[in-house]
Structure 1
Amino acid sequence: MTSSRKSRRSRKPIIRRALVALGALGAFGIALYAFFVLSPVRLDPAASHASVEKAMAQLKQGNASAARQSALDAVRSDPNSADAHLLLARTQLQLGEGVAAEAEIKRANDAGVDPKLTHHLLGDALQLQGQNEKAIDEVEKTDPKFRNYGLRIRARAMTALGNYADAKECLEEAARIAPRDGDVWTDIGRFRFTVGDISGAIAASQRAVELDGDNVDALELRGELVRTQYGLVAALPWFERALARDPWHHDTLIEYAATLGDAGRTNDMLAATRKALEAKPGSPQAFYLQAVLAARAGNYDLARTLAEKTGGTIDTLPGMLLLTGTLDLQEGDTEQALGKLQALVAQQPMNITARKLLAVALLRSDAARNALDVLRPVALRGDADSYTLTLVARGFERIGDRDIAARFLDRAAFPGRGGSGAFSADDSLAILGAPAQERPNDPTAVIPLVRGLVEAGNSGAALARAQQMVSDNPGVPGAYVLLGDVLMVQGRSGDAATAYKQAADLRFDEPTMLRLVEALGDAGRRGEASQTLALFLSQNPVNLAALRISAHWQLVSGDYDAAIVTLEGLHDRIGDGDAALNADLATAYAGAGEAETARQYGEAAYALAPGNPAAADSYGWALYQSGDDQGALELLQKAVLLAPRHSGLRWHLAQIYAEMKRPNEARAHLQAALADPLFADRGAAQVLLGKLG
């Protein structure tokens, strides 16, 4: 054995003994640290009390997030402080943290707080966790001095369980006990919002803010209702006012981010969602909003990744079903998409976008008849879009009925759409009448019956039902919309406009705006219609439907430069695949004298939809403006052949015939155009007709 080997052997015991010694010293160090940190000698009850006082002041100022941190500091300073644990639970309840609050309530009880004094808080924590029955049982034990709080929690639980009558009684009693309590009025406003009483919710939210201007929940609710009543832009200051009191309030940050995104302020939306993730790491709502943002930008891989980060906690919510169903369709996972979209349509049967996506999934699954059933209520509307009508046509082709398919393709190709009338009913009057008879004051039961009566041609009975529903539900915007729909069917557009305006005073959303604009236009009140559209766009600056109407009106009025700005903005968002949009751009650029750009857009529109008379017209008119009379003539002849009753197409073709010195043909088309009472260019056409002799 060599000396070096002996040397290594002799060193091993020495190293081992050194490591053992170091380990012992480390353990001693940890124990010493624990002694000094955790020993009762290190507790600081005075600091804990100061933190409790600070947290209470912050709660009073509406800053629950800061109060929670101060309460945590109090608990750390004195883990045995019952006051600190109880206050921490209160802050967590205000921030919607039910699980954490339940644990802190139990710690407060262990530290000496009488459980009889915390039943209302424990009920609140259970209700936040969705354990509504347990919450009700718990608040039944509430000490009389906290009865008002217990009534509020019972009302929330009953609302979640669908027992609205009991919930209403609890809130009415709470308001009698504490008529100047901002929390009570906030809960009343939230309840009324949930049951559709928008007018009552607005009044309650205003009362809550008047009583307690620092109440973040009240300010957030006010923002939601202002968003419903007036629009996105008007709501933002209310969310900002709430965040000025509690900058890290997660739920308010989510509402603020969603509103910013819908208003087109995507960078601000992203910043708000990131802050929400800091306030609540792993927030599924924040990841959902980021996924929506990614999907809108066309980054579907990122959208899927972000949607997966929600962890399945919000998968059954309508927005999430729509997003993930769309992503599944985009990826080709039809079966997954079917399940989600069917669930969404079941939740929201009047969601037209959901119905169209579900129909696409069904067609891909060779379930054409099911797709037709889903699309029927949409396709029967006068304002059914060309995409819906094309889907219906494809469905009829799949089942071998090519004649009906051709009719729907003709409707899809026709330039222009009908009015935004009532959503049609799926069931017979007998089926629809049963729930309406059982619940005559329930809008969800009566509305389908009224729509069924309209479809059956019994507009008199429908009007009586609709008027009764407005009388029974004066704060429900849907009641006024329904009344307006019936009046429109009867041709009473002026009266319908009045009903729609009453609905818009409560809920100024896209469907109500479209109806109001149409009714005002039909009633000859174009100025009011323009003001309504302008007001809606001021609050919803990136709304596609409103921007399309605005662009159309700009084209009709000859304001081509403004139309180009509007249409190019739409083109940036929608892309190149919309034939109607390309056709409108061709018309706008032709009107502005930019013939080459007009020709390019016209060619793109015609390539996408050669059977669409509007596309043929826009391309032909662009060629005419660029000097290609023969090419323009062929396209305009085709457009008129496809839509012979459209006076605008006749007018264009007449001008081309006149330019080519073919007066007889020009005269014939001018006379056909002038025979249409709705023809817009009557004056110019009469002048040209006079020149032709």
Structure 2
Amino acid sequence: MTSSPRRRRTRYARKLILRRGLVILGGLAAFGFAIFGFIRLLPEHRDPAAAQAELAKSIAAFQASNANAARAHALQAVRADPSSGAAHAMLARTLLELDNGLAAEAELDLAESHGYDPARTKYMRAQALLLQGNPERALVLVQETAPQDRVHGLRIRARILTAMGDLAAARDALGAAVDAAPRDPAVWTDIGRFRLSAGDIGGAIAASQRAVELAPGDTNALVLRGQMVRTQFGLVASLPWFESALKRDPWDHDALIEYAATLGDLGRTRDMLDAARRALQSRPGSPQAYYLMAVLAARADNLDLARGLMARTEDALADLPGALLLGGTLDIEAGAYAQAIDKFGQLVAMQPMNITARKLLALAYLRSDASRDGISVLKPVVARADADSYSKMLVARGLERIDDRGLAARFLDWAAYPTRGGSPSFSADDSVAVTDIAARDNPGDPDSIIPYLRALIDAGQTDRALARAREVARDNPGAPGSHTLLGDILMLSGQPAAAASAYRDAASLLFDETAMLRLVEAYQASGNRQEAARVLALFLSQNPNNVAALRLTGHWQLAEGEYDAAIATLEGLRERIGDRDVALNIELAQAYAATGDVDAAVDAGIAAYSVSPANPAAADAYGWALYKSGDIDGAEELLAKAARTAPDHIGIRGHLNVVRAAKARG
């Protein structure tokens, strides 16, 4: 069968197009080879004068503490004269300052190949290896540091030893560095970072102060100082330090990350997002930037976006408590309970007294049908007199699943009861003899000492516990935890005034939510309400979005009859945490009822009661709101229920008597 004329013309046209395309490609290839050959025949393009000028600018920018500008100028110097060993070495220094060990090592190779003295690159190569996660090789290499680079070598040696866990040797290296260069701000900045990692907050504060005194414009010193001011005083006080660092180097990654995190905690989400995005531009792929953006996404309830952003961190933040908390929470929301258990398990191991982490770990266990593990995790939490209702409810649900219905019912009743006790330490899991062994084997480890002190208290040996706690505080004056431990023992010993003094020492180093709450509680217990109020106001001025501080402020305002102020505080809090917080809605119902806004009082009462109908405080608030609205029968029914659940509660009984008296009057 022969092809039609039309088909033959189509095939011919296709062959013609293909032939022409091959001719064009061949011509372009020939032209390209010709250009390549021509370039190869030319002498290497160099502009030593321009390279020298850019190198000088790089050195000046580096000395002015602008590592990003220094890198840009060093790169221009290398481009102007690729054979300049000094330019390559300078580029390597800037890359090391920006934590890019791999690229720095490549530049050091080029520097040496173009005549740069290999002896002068030893400490830089060691730093590059450390950044690449190879401290063993780095330690060998740093020992070959040239004499003129001794201080640099000692600083890098200290970092290597810290990474390897040899803190004593790292401390010795830093001591030698400060002896050799007592006015070097970089040495004091490294000392501050080392002390911070070792838990010596007081020592880190002092070192950061010394660093900025010696170099008020040093970016690294300013960032460290900002971190310590945030720790010591609060969020607002730290902002100027990070802003000063960013004036020196607007693209400094660490400054941007710390600035963004602080802005986020202050509720300045737009500014936080801008700073996080700039950090991502400064260091593409930054895990810290992705994490902060994930936090924002989670707060906006965009959980899919938050999960995607956390995935981009690629487990680079596996040791960061906040990242573990967020990652585990997202895993629970996605039903990935095994992953959540892994993350929360790590977090509880890192922070055994983190109650939030324990509750979330227990929830993950319960949802994965490991109820006994969930109960075990919450055992030290529900042993406290101030155990929260949610923890009790989780234990109750776990007990139901293992068919211990009687005990489950007791926990459900306890969860509904409105009164709360004090805040003692966790109960001990082992005997004095067992915990004493661990404490003696690890005399400087709080995780070993605290269980020992708990065991002493449980055994009625409070005096021995107090004496040991005083030793810990005396031997670790820069560690907030040591003073907090002493304060806890003093509170348990019935000495709130002395406990307040210990808590004040802790708060002078680390003024966080825990320190504030303990200090306020101690001042209240010792009868110094004025000082307690001052501490709360000071903390809230630095942390205006802190939920615990806002909740406590609203509670005090309500108790003192400042109903309008209480409503403003509590409504602002409700906007932040939602409408399903029972205690918050109870207090809103009480405040609105006191001001005569009965509709708002009833709405808040309904919100509290619908979430926790077995809670007598919720039934009381709802019932009292109904009474204020004129619904006597509805009020009596709810208040009678509340009184049956909490028969010893004077306030509930008083409300019920008022309602019944009104009903009797007709």
Q: Smaller-chain TM-score range?
A: over 0.9
Look up the SS of the partner of 1:313 in the other structure.
Answer: coil
Which residue of the partner structure matches residue 670 of structure 1? none
User: Within 2, Cα distance between the matches of 1:484 and 1:622?
Assistant: 41
Task: Say if 1:520 and 1:526, in contact at 8 Å, map to a contact too.
Answer: yes
User: Within 2, Cα distance between the matches of 1:335 and 1:13?
Assistant: 62
User: Within 1, Cα distance between the matches of 2:378 and 2:461?
Assistant: 24
Matched, 1:96 2:99: yes
Look up the SS of the partner of 2:508 in the other structure.
Answer: helix
Task: Say if 1:209 and 1:218, in contact at 8 Å, map to a contact too.
Answer: yes
Q: Residue 576 of structure 1 aligns to which amino acid in structure 2?
A: D
Look up the SS of the partner of 1:424 in the other structure.
Answer: coil
Which residue, out of 176, 188, 197, partners 1:194? 197
Which residue of the partner structure matches residue 681 of structure 1? none
Which residue of the partner structure matches residue 597 of structure 2? 594
More deviation, 1-10/507-516: 1-10
Q: Residue 143 of structure 1 aligns to which amino acid in structure 2?
A: A
Q: Residue 176 of structure 1 aligns to which amino acid in structure 2?
A: D
Which residue, out of 153, 172, 180, partners 2:156? 153
User: Within 2, Cα distance between the matches of 1:453 and 1:268?
Assistant: 49
More deviation, 202-211/88-97: 88-97
Which residue of the partner structure matches residue 672 of structure 1? none
User: Within 2, Cα distance between the matches of 1:540 and 1:11?
Assistant: 73
Aligned ranges 1:23-172 → 2 under 5 Å: 23-29=29-35, 32=38, 34=39, 39-172=42-175
Which residue, out of 332, 346, 364, partners 2:367? 364
Which residue of the partner structure matches residue 502 of structure 2? 499
Which residue of the partner structure matches residue 512 of structure 2? 509
More deviation, 102-111/435-444: 435-444
Which residue, out of 636, 642, 645, partners 1:642? 645
Which residue of the partner structure matches residue 231 of structure 1? 234
**Distance change >3 Å, CA 456–CA 404, structure 1 → 2:** farther
Task: Say if 1:421 and 1:515, in contact at 8 Å, map to a contact too.
Answer: no
Q: Deviations over 1:403-442 (max 9, x none)?
A: 3323322332122422232233433323321122123344
**Distance change >3 Å, CA 46–CA 329, structure 1 → 2:** same
How far is the alpha carbon of 1:584 from its aligned partner?
1.6
Q: Residue 123 of structure 2 aligns to which amino acid in structure 1?
A: H
Look up the SS of the partner of 1:118 in the other structure.
Answer: helix
Task: Say if 1:182 and 1:208, in contact at 8 Å, map to a contact too.
Answer: yes
Matched, 1:547 2:553: no
Which residue of the partner structure matches residue 392 of structure 2? 389
**Distance change >3 Å, CA 11–CA 356, structure 1 → 2:** closer
Q: Residue 585 of structure 2 aligns to which amino acid in structure 1?
A: N
**Distance change >3 Å, CA 184–CA 660, structure 1 → 2:** same
Which residue of the partner structure matches residue 452 of structure 1? 455
Matched, 1:20 2:23: no
**Distance change >3 Å, CA 410–CA 77, structure 1 → 2:** same
More deviation, 559-568/241-250: 559-568
Aligned ranges 1:666-685 → 2 under 5 Å: none
User: Within 2, Cα distance between the matches of 1:265 and 1:224?
Assistant: 18
Which residue, out of 609, 620, 625, partners 1:622? 625
Which residue, out of 186, 205, 210, partners 1:207? 210
User: Within 2, Cα distance between the matches of 1:448 and 1:116?
Assistant: 51
Aligned ranges 1:656-675 → 2 under 5 Å: 656-661=659-664
Cα-Cα RMSD: 2.2
Task: Say if 1:422 and 1:482, in contact at 8 Å, map to a contact too.
Answer: no
Q: Deviations over 1:363-402 (max 9, x none)?
A: 1122222111111122122222111111112222222333
User: Within 2, Cα distance between the matches of 1:542 and 1:629?
Assistant: 39
User: Within 2, Cα distance between the matches of 1:66 and 1:523?
Assistant: 56
**Distance change >3 Å, CA 16–CA 363, structure 1 → 2:** closer
Which residue of the partner structure matches residue 349 of structure 1? 352
Matched, 1:471 2:474: yes
User: Within 1, Cα distance between the matches of 2:550 and 2:154?
Assistant: 47
Q: Deviations over 1:586-609 (max 9, x none)?
A: 112112211011111101211111
Aligned ranges 1:233-632 → 2 under 5 Å: 233-632=236-635
Look up the SS of the partner of 1:648 in the other structure.
Answer: helix
TM-score, scaled relative to structure 1: 0.91
**Distance change >3 Å, CA 424–CA 189, structure 1 → 2:** farther
How far is the alpha carbon of 1:662 from its aligned partner?
7.2
Look up the SS of the partner of 2:156 in the other structure.
Answer: helix
**Distance change >3 Å, CA 15–CA 503, structure 1 → 2:** closer
Task: Say if 1:329 and 1:337, in contact at 8 Å, map to a contact too.
Answer: yes
User: Within 2, Cα distance between the matches of 1:424 and 1:337?
Assistant: 26
Q: Residue 181 of structure 1 aligns to which amino acid in structure 2?
A: D
How far is the alpha carbon of 1:658 from its aligned partner?
4.0
Which residue of the partner structure matches residue 685 of structure 1? none
Look up the SS of the partner of 2:588 in the other structure.
Answer: helix
**Distance change >3 Å, CA 444–CA 160, structure 1 → 2:** farther
More deviation, 544-553/362-371: 362-371
Task: Say if 1:257 and 1:269, in contact at 8 Å, map to a contact too.
Answer: yes
**Distance change >3 Å, CA 178–CA 615, structure 1 → 2:** same
TM-score, scaled relative to structure 2: 0.95
User: Within 2, Cα distance between the matches of 1:315 and 1:196?
Assistant: 19
Task: Say if 1:378 and 1:384, in contact at 8 Å, map to a contact too.
Answer: yes
How far is the alpha carbon of 1:30 from its aligned partner?
5.4
How far is the alpha carbon of 1:40 from its aligned partner?
4.2
More deviation, 122-131/523-532: 122-131
**Distance change >3 Å, CA 506–CA 24, structure 1 → 2:** same
User: Within 1, Cα distance between the matches of 2:351 and 2:180?
Assistant: 38
User: Within 2, Cα distance between the matches of 1:467 and 1:16?
Assistant: 88
Task: Say if 1:413 and 1:612, in contact at 8 Å, map to a contact too.
Answer: yes
Which residue of the partner structure matches residue 680 of structure 1? none
Q: Deviations over 1:619-664 (max 9, x none)?
A: 011111111122212212222221222222233233334434579x
**Distance change >3 Å, CA 341–CA 21, structure 1 → 2:** same
More deviation, 334-343/82-91: 334-343
Task: Say if 1:420 and 1:514, in contact at 8 Å, map to a contact too.
Answer: no
How far is the alpha carbon of 1:13 from its aligned partner?
6.0
Task: Say if 1:334 and 1:364, in contact at 8 Å, map to a contact too.
Answer: yes
**Distance change >3 Å, CA 23–CA 481, structure 1 → 2:** same
User: Within 2, Cα distance between the matches of 1:415 and 1:245?
Assistant: 54
User: Which ranges of structure 2 fall in alignment gaps of 5 or more residues?
Assistant: none
**Distance change >3 Å, CA 18–CA 272, structure 1 → 2:** closer
Look up the SS of the partner of 1:610 in the other structure.
Answer: coil
User: Within 2, Cα distance between the matches of 1:124 and 1:414?
Assistant: 58
Q: Residue 600 of structure 2 aligns to which amino acid in structure 1?
A: T
How far is the alpha carbon of 1:516 from its aligned partner?
0.7
User: Within 2, Cα distance between the matches of 1:230 and 1:318?
Assistant: 21
Q: Deviations over 1:74-111 (max 9, x none)?
A: 11111111111111111111111111111111211111
Q: Residue 131 of structure 2 aligns to which amino acid in structure 1?
A: L
User: Within 2, Cα distance between the matches of 1:47 and 1:452?
Assistant: 72
How far is the alpha carbon of 1:310 from its aligned partner?
1.8
**Distance change >3 Å, CA 424–CA 513, structure 1 → 2:** farther
Identical-residue share of aligned pairs (%): 56
**Distance change >3 Å, CA 397–CA 379, structure 1 → 2:** same
How far is the alpha carbon of 1:31 from its aligned partner?
5.1
